[in-house]
Amino acid sequence: MTGGKIISDLSVLVVEDNEVNQKVTAAMLQHFGITPDIAENGQVAIDLAAQRQYDLILMDCQMPVKNGFETTTFIRSQNTAHESGEFKTSSEVIIIAMTANASPADVEVCMECGMNDFIAKPVELEIITEILNKWFA
Amino acid sequence: MSDMESLDKKVVDELYGLMGEDYLSVYEAFERSSNNSMQELEIAIEQKDAIKIETNSHTLKGSSANIGANKFSALCKIIMDAARNNENIDYALHYNNARQEYASVINAIKSLRQSNH
């Protein structure tokens, strides 16, 4: 549980441009009773995060329009807008990078732009389980 | 080699376990998106456009890994890494290798559809 929420009540946003990856990640979250929202790029993610308070964002890094690093930096900068109610998602939301390149240098870039953690792609159920337990159990 | 060897059974079983019969929708999504990416990759290689080669091979590598097409994913990774690092490899040859494996993956998906898992 987190903040009184059980895992199935978490509001989750999956930011991923590839339809196959969207479906697989969503199916894994649905295993826990979570029906995520899906954003196909970073700009759509920002628009959704402005309208709804998310507990967790799973963020692809390489995407068209706005990549995961830029998107995370933007969400982290929305402190004032969140406090005034203009941006519903907290600037302290848990953001997990989904990256195929999990080298130390890539992980450092994820952390530098404000992501909390990372998971290597392809995403596996075991990894999603670990992440949910690590951050929300 | 039979076509089904182009898909990792463990991944197929996991997707079936998660989604039931709807797991085929993931494979259908792969068929749709990968066909376009393969065409764009071929054009990018003809035009020696390193950025588009990297983008399309990256997309193919990621989505194929998610459906258990591990060999195809590995072949796309070779192309993606070379484009990213500006390596002078024979892209047409590597693309043909990937294209051959891609055909096996598509046949394996057809077999899945017919087999009712």
pLDDT tens column, A32-74: 999 999 999 999 999 999 999 999 999 999 888 999 999 999 9
Say how far apart CA A32 and CA B72 lie, in whole Å: 30
Peptide bond into A36 cis (omega under 30): no
Homologous superfamily of the A7-130 domain (CATH): Response regulator (3.40.50.2300)
Q: What is the tens place of the pLDDT at every residue in A71-90? A: 999 999 999 999 999 999 99
Q: In angstroms, what separates the C-alpha of A1 from chain B's closest C-alpha?
A: 23
- Asked if B29's CB is within 8 angstroms of A19's CB, the reply is yes
pLDDT above 70: percentage of residues in chain A: 96
Residue A3 pLDDT exceeds 60: no
Per DSSP, A45 falls in state H
- Asked if B61's CB is within 8 angstroms of A24's CB, the reply is no
Determine the CATH number of domain B3-115.
1.20.120.160
Residues of chain B with pLDDT under 70: 1-3, 116-117
Question: Could you give phi then psi for residue B28, rounded to 5 degrees?
Answer: -65, -40
Out of B18, B29, B33, name the one closest to residue A28 (CB).
B18
Kindly list the domain boundaries of chain A, sorted by start residue.
7-130
- Asked if B33's CB is within 8 angstroms of A100's CB, the reply is no
Nearest Cα residue in chain A from B31? A20
pLDDT band at A1, cuts 50/70/90?
very low
